[in-house]
Amino acid sequence: MAEKPEDEELDDQTEAGDDGFEDVESVDGAAVFPLIPIELGVQPLLMGVLHAYVFLEGSEEKVVNGGAAEEAMQYLATYLQRLDGADLRRVKEDLATLVGFAKMEKWPKQQIRFLVDFLADNGVE
């Protein structure tokens, strides 16, 4: 199981990438979603999906095979489309929480737009 990075380590190892998400310097070209504080109470499974999605969609070809990434993202979208009822409401609430946090932290507009459009972009209504 992968070890959880410390906040200070992430601050020292990141820089802005072309896609607006941070690239870890030790893995040049890898897109990484910002670390979200546990205090926000966002469902950990949603955070895992967002982190995987950003990595697959935003990483350069030298890090992730584009065809394989596209296929994996299609499966993620399929599973997201299965959300309904209380589960879907919770995801929408968590995304709204993340948008509020992103605005408060003054994230780039394209990162905020990613969160706002995430469900619609993946066929979830």
Mean pLDDT of 64-87: 97
Q: Is 90 exceeded by the pLDDT of residue 60?
A: yes
**pLDDT (0 to 100) of residue 37:** 95
Rounded percentage of the chain residues whose pLDDT exceeds 70: 79
Q: Which residues contact 118 (CB under 8 A, 6 or more apart)?
A: 50, 53, 95
CA atoms within 13 A on the CB side of 7: 3
Mean pLDDT of 69-92: 97
Q: Where are the chain's structural domains?
A: 7-121
The pLDDT tens digits for 9-45 are 333 333 334 445 654 444 889 999 999 999 999 999 9
